[in-house]
Structure 1
Amino acid sequence: MAVALSRVTPAVVQRLQVPFQVLLYAGLFIFAEYLVGWLHLPLPANLVGMVLMLALILCRIVPLRWVREGARWLLAEMLLFFVPAVVAVVNYVHLLMVDGWRIFAVIALSTLMVLGATAWVVDKVYRYETRGQKHD
């Protein structure tokens, strides 16, 4: 009986891991929402929640392995969260017909700027890391 239970337990834990982590994220967001209201912070609760999660990970209160799978699942299902944006596009077809090229230009330009800034930061961090490894 004990052998069968030890074989089942990791599978059960693995299946409950992602839902538990998503609940942890939701709880952290609710706590961040409360903090924003209580402290009258001029920041959105999702940003405060991400900073809190980062602090918990950096202080090793929450190990990274405890939140990794939930984060991967949320990123994999991110398209689901963009469905309301698609509905908004359908509701404003006339706006897109008149000013769609401007909207597209802003989206394209801002995407290129974000990609360029990200590439620049990654390059700087990579060079910093390689310099650090050469000194070791």
Structure 2
Amino acid sequence: MKPTPVKRLLRLLVELAVFLVLYMLGGQLAAWLDWPIPAGVMGLALLLLAFALGWLKPAALQLGAGLLMAEMLLFFIPALMSLLDYGSLLRDEGWRILLVIGVSTLLVMVLTALTVEWVCRWSMRHDT
């Protein structure tokens, strides 16, 4: 049976609220511990912890995560537009900035792949 549009909208709002609460908790936790870690990173760590402890199932947040992933470009447009104000910086230091972006992107991709692999193996060992 297909859910009604109202139920789908309510589910989406609840899932987005969960992400927002985790983000806010992550920010509060980082401030309380006096760690220089962004609220989003702390929120993702809390989300991973909730998944690992079984408090949340990934499928429970699938609709909200799908929306955020689909609209991700909107989150980056303001940052890209602000680069227009720093043309001289980009001309002088642009290659270093691109190198840092490239290396950090590669590191994130590799570490994400290793983490997913580790979690899958850990999950398979503990499910059987």
TM (normalized to structure 2)?
0.70
1:71 aligns with 2:58: no
Q: 1:110, CA displacement in angstroms?
A: 4.3
**Could you list the runs of 5+ residues in structure 1 that have no partner in the other structure?**
1-6
Change (3 A) 1:110 1:44: closer
1:40 aligns with 2:29: no
Which letter does structure 1 place at the counterpart of 2:16?
V
RMSD of equivalent CA atoms? 3.3
Partner of 1:121: 114
The 5 Å alignment of 1:1-136 reads: 10-37=4-31, 39-42=32-35, 43-112=37-106, 114=108, 117=110, 121=114, 125=117
**Could you list the runs of 5+ residues in structure 2 that have no partner in the other structure?**
none
With 99-108 and 19-28 compared, the bigger mean Cα shift is at: 99-108
| Pair member with larger Rg | 1
Q: Deviations over 1:71-95 (max 9, x none)?
A: 1111111111111221221010122
Change (3 A) 1:13 1:33: same
SS at structure 2 position matched to 1:61: coil
SS at structure 1 position matched to 2:4: helix
Calculate percent identity across the aligned residue pairs: 28
Change (3 A) 1:64 1:113: closer
Number of residue-to-residue matches in the alignment: 121
